[in-house]
Every structure is written in C-alpha cells, then in structure tokens.
Structure 1
Amino acid sequence: MISGAMRGRGGDALAKHLLKPENDSFEVIPARGLGSNDLIWQLRELVALSSAGRTDRPVYHVHVDPEGDIGDEAAARTRWWSLFEREFGLDGQAYCGAVHVKHGRRHEHRVYSLVRPSGAVVDIAWDYARREKVSRIVEFEHGLAPVPSKHARAIERALRDDGRPDVADWLVASGSTAAERPVAVLSPVERLIQERTGVTLDDVRRAALDAWRASMDGPGFEAALARHGLRLAAGRSGPVIVDGSGTPRLATRLLGAAGKRFEGSRIPAATVRARIEGLQLREVTDGHDGDHAPARRAGPGSARDRGDARPAGGRGDGVGIRRPDRDTGRPDGGGGRRRGVRPVAALGRLRALPVAGRLRLTRRLRTLDPRLDAFIAAGERARAAIERIEEEGAYERERAWALFGVTDIWGIPIR
C-alpha cells in the first residue's frame, strides 16, 4: 500500500487536479459533512468550514494506491481509510474526494478538513510514519509482503504499543527491521534542480569521483575537475564544485555521496577539506555561479562592491575607518544602506588581510578613540549577526531558485 499526503489551503486548483482528464477514468466519491454535489463546490465548502481554525493550512489531501497484486483492492482501500481515520482522529471530519483509474490501477484521493467544530486543529505530526504503519497493517491482513521503509523499526515499536504484536512479529520476520535503511537517490530539492538544469546529479557525482581518484593533491584535483567540465570554487559553507549549468554543489557532500553510491563507502569530509586546503578559489555568490567573480583579496574594492570604496585618508590600502558617530568614507559599503548593497566584499577583504596587516589595523583603530574597544566589540557582534543573516538569505535564495515556477497540487507557487 503506497500513500502520499500534503497539507495546504485548498482551492479550485486542487479540485481540478482531482478531476484532471489525464486519468483513464475518475469517479467522485460521496462526500461526508458537505452539502454540495459538485467537487469544486465541495472543496470550497470544506475550506469555508475550516476558516474558524487557527491555521493557514486547514486542508489535508491524502491518496492511497493499493498494490497491483492485492486481492480485493476496494476492501483494502476501505480498511486503509478506516485505520487511517482512527490513527489521526479524523472520524467524523468532513471530506470529499475522487477515485482515479490510471494505467489500469485504481487509487483514491480524499481531502479532509483538519479543523474540528470547536476550532481545534487535528494533530498530524509524524504523518508519514503513521501512514506507513497503517499500510503495514493492511498489507499483513491481505497476505502481502511489507513495503521497505526507513521507519520500519519505529513502526514495529508503535505496533507493539498499539496492541498489534502479530503485525510487529510479521514485520520483524520479513527482515524489514534489520535491512539497511533505504535512502533516496535524490532529495526533493536536488530533483527540482536536476529538472530545471537538465544536468543529472549522478553524472556530476561520477565525474567528481573520477577526478578525485585521478589526483593526489589540490591542484591536481582542480585540473582533473576541469577536464570533466567542472570547476572548484569557494562557497559560503566551504569549497563547492560547479557544474556546466553554473549550479554549485558542496564538495564534501558531493564527494561523500559519490563514494557511498558508487564505491560503497563515503569519502570523509575532513579528507576532502585537507586536500583542497590552501587553494585560492573563485567565490560563488547568491547560490549560483553566474558572474565568475574573482577571488577575494585584501586591497582596493572593486566596482561590484557598489559602495564607495575610497580608502580613508586617501591611502591605497583599501581599508578605511568610519567613526561610529559619523558617516564618512564608507569603504565597507555601509552607512545609508542601499538596495542590493551587502557587506560580503568588505568582510572578505578584512578576513584576507595578513596577520601583520590586521595588527597594524588594530593598532590604528585603538588610537582613534578611547571608547573604541566597546565599538569594536559591538562591531564583532554585528558582523556575526550579518554573517548569520547572509547564510540564511543564501539558503532562501538557493531554495527560491530551485523552486522557481514550481507549484504544489493546489496550483499555489511553492516558496
């Protein structure tokens, strides 16, 4: 028994999804707790009934697909829904739905209201594992083998707690609880990136692994990657490998996954970092490699900094000082923050200063104002906050780029 579920706001797009003509046939099932006969109006009514709940996602769309070799698939679906409603406390909750026939197989969709008449919201925490438990019970009762699941051990414990040792023993006897946990080849975000770029992740993994095995040091690894059309760059969380589409992938994660997938054992992240350490790499910004920015170094700012990069005092060392009570110089792009101005460039130049340069800068700073120690401490705290914000922003930009143009089954853009 295969099931899937998604929580959302509902809407006409979901009803159209349930009525989509690409199925061989479909049948609207009798609704519960709703007065409309048309599925679109049933779903609208369901959303309206749920408006009193303290949630912006009051609708729970669930589908179940019995396996092809099951004896009585209608009885299996009926049993599955009964156990499902009991598991989640959805007995009596309003729902509507449809049965689809596709490629000769029948599967059923239901859309439940998660808001009770009192306004309380049904708890669907850990819904994936709980639906898997329901499926294992139906499989046991219909004489099927259990579908492999990474939650097998947790399901076995839950079955014993629920008073179903017969199903738990069957699950253990099948070897499911002792089997290696199945791991998806692609995460949902990786799958979206692969579909958007047309670059297969396994191809990138294999090429990176070949370059790794063909080299003994950092420069050799970089050269071997270039022969495969890949490039090593500096990312926010460490070195990244950039493929032909400009998509960066964290080098330690990519090589670790490649070793696990093609050789059976992961390449340790520490080993990857040790080989790459010392290489001067170009920097990837905004989660993609569209502009091939040069490596960051101490010195004068570039035009890409967007701030006034004139050094304080007219000198050419590229590092200026702005007193806390004034707005002069602005070599770090600060003061009067404009849209698109980010502190990454200035921070990169400061980090790249040699030890002697940092000492000279510190000495100069300390002679400017007796209160500067407090200002420096405040600056350090601000810098840490900026770095945290930048990391969060980079993650959101990368996710938005990966999900660009993608909608959920309701037709609502995924953000």
Structure 2
Amino acid sequence: MTNTIAYQYILSSNLIVDAIYECSPNNQLSGEPISKLLPGSGNMGGFRISGRGHKKNWVVLFSTGEDKDWPDSLDIYSGQFIYYGDNKTPGHEIHQTSAGGNKLLRSAFEQLHQDENRRCDIPPFFLFKKSPTANGARSVQFKGLAVPGYPGLSSTEDLVAVWKSTDGQRFQNYRAIFTVLDASVISREWINDLASGNPLSENAPKAWRDWVVSGKSLPLRAEATTVIRSAEEQTPDTSLKHDVLNTVWEFFKETPLEFEKFAARIYQMMDQRVIIDEITRGVVDGGRDAVGRYLLGLPSDPVYAEFSLEAKCYRPPLNGQSPNTVGVKEVSRLISRIRHRQFGILVTTSLIARQAYEEVREDRHPIIFISGRDIAEILIKNGFNSVDKVNSFLYKEFKI
C-alpha cells in the first residue's frame, strides 16, 4: 500500500517520493498539506513560489491531473516531467500571469542554458499531484525533486511556447520539460536549509549537488516490476477518459471494420515514426487488419521494422457493463502471423485478459497492447480532449 502521512505528522515529515500527505480532517483550505510541508509556499495554485527577490528558496509545481487542455505528465520510467505554464486563458501576453509562473520558467531555463555558473541560482522544483484519500479531499502525493531540462534535449526543445485557441481567441503558454532527480527522500533538514538560503548544505541530496556543480542530471528511472497490466490499469481512470472511450465505442460498435482503420490511426498518433502501408480490411487478411513499418534509422538512412496490427472493437468496461475481453485465442492468432524480425500491435476498445497478457510477456513475444484506456489517453494527448472534438474527428475521418 502507498505510504500515507497523517496530517498531524506532516510538519516534521520528510518528503518521500510517492508518499501521500493528508490534509486536515475538516478538509478546509487552511489545512492544505503543501503549505505545511513547505512553509511559505501558499495553499493555492499550480505555481507556488517561496522566497522574495531574484533568488527563490524553492518552487512547488502542483498538478491536479484534470486539466484536459494542459495535460501535465510524468513518465516514471524515464524520469521526464512535462509541465504547462500558467497562461491558460486568452487576453494576456505569455508572461503576464498573476502567479508569475511563466516568468519564473523563462528565467530558470535561461539560467540553465546561458551560463553554467548560474545553476546555483535556479531553485529546486518540488512536484506534487492531487491525490484525495478517504480522510481528505485535499490530500496530495509527492512526485519528486526536479530541475529544468532533460538529458539530450537542447535549449530549443525543453521550454517551448505553444499556441492554443479558445472561443476563436489565440494565446500562448509554456510547455516545460524537467528531470525528476534520483532522490527518494528530501530531508526536513534540507528544507530548513533552503528556507535559510543555503541550498548546497551538507543536507542537500547528492543528485541535486551533482547537478548544480556539473550540470549533469541523474533521472529517477523506475523499471517496471511487472509488465502485466491489471484490468484497472487498462480501464479509464477519469471521467474525461471514460467519455472519450465511450464515444469511440458508440461510433464503431456497429461498424467494426471501420475500427480497423481507426486502430491504425491510433498507433500512428502514438509515435510519428509509424508508417501504415496497408489497411487489409474486407479481404482475407490472414489475421492482420493492417501492416506497416516502424522507422528505426535516420530519415536519410532508414532502417525499418515491419509490423502487423490487429483491431478488436469489443465492449469496454464502461457504464457498469462487463467488458468483452481479448483472450488467448485472439492474441495467439496475431502471434502466429508474425514472421521473423516482425512485431505485432493489438488495439482494442476493451481489455487484454490476464492469462493472454501473462503468456505474451512470459514468452517474450514482441506484441504491443493498446487497450481502451490507452486509446482515450492517446486521443487526449493529441488534442481530442472532449466528446465534441472526438466526434468531429471520427465523423471527418471514418464516417462511411
């Protein structure tokens, strides 16, 4: 079970990666836990900046995980964190925000790239996400200590101003990429040192000191202990993902052949290196609904891996209904059609049954599973983040 720190203990608690910190029992704003864990951070907003003047003590980046237009995301396997700035409504220049978050992002990334001696002026970033518990609707989960940038990314890639439009009005916001450092515990002593203006004290995490001194960040990479996703992990976990998947299911449930074309499109959305050569629907396809190639080499010197894709438009686990899961028979059919040096993709609106999942992973078959929750997340990530947008996309590209 996830480590949960009760409210009465958080004033003296360390920050532990993935621990949940409960709010006060009355769920009042004054009992919000971040302001107690990191005094001076405030108790509202996505950006919570501690310290006055040019040099800040620290910055809290808080994400609810529920903003469909600006989907912050943490890749726990690579340690890369994507966070969107605070200019989220039209009518303002990108840096004209009340919290000053975008100005701070610009300053931090400029210091990162323009002068290596200024890394000591960049504050540590503490990441939190909303994580309600039975004992508190304002509870949060600590996701790690972060620094701007990511290994291998240039100054033109790690902080980018992106355009959005709302009600016909255009505006910009930042998309910032951070590295979550390999620091599992942030001690209360270091937090006190930061508040005193001493970030490089003996209590500082080694990964932080190394980054300040050398500029080399060591990401917190977490290798999966299991690659067999449960039914829960394949099921939409938010109301938006539920609605998006339900829209897809309702659109294709009477025309499953059209779903094959959609399944190929979803895989392309997941990775721009995917090339679909043929949709094989309507013919004797030998167990393959689409075939294509995946670009491994450089565009000027391409090397391709061939793949076969199979699509299953099955009833998803929505609206209280039991799903029609993809089982061993369907997966075995795809495996039997894969030739040497090929891989397979199975796309379904439903779930992969545990037995089928286990057999594929234990026997190391090169099969990629894209289930219902994945479909919803891929669509949302590509900007189809409402029922109306999903419907418009489906009618435009797949209406018979």
What range is the shorter-chain TM-score in?
under 0.3
Q: TM-score, normalised by structure 1?
A: 0.24
Q: Radius of gyration: which is bigger?
A: 1
Q: TM-score, normalised by structure 2?
A: 0.24
- Give the structure with the higher percent strand: 2
- Which protein has greater RCO, CA pairs closer than 8 Å, 6+ apart? 2
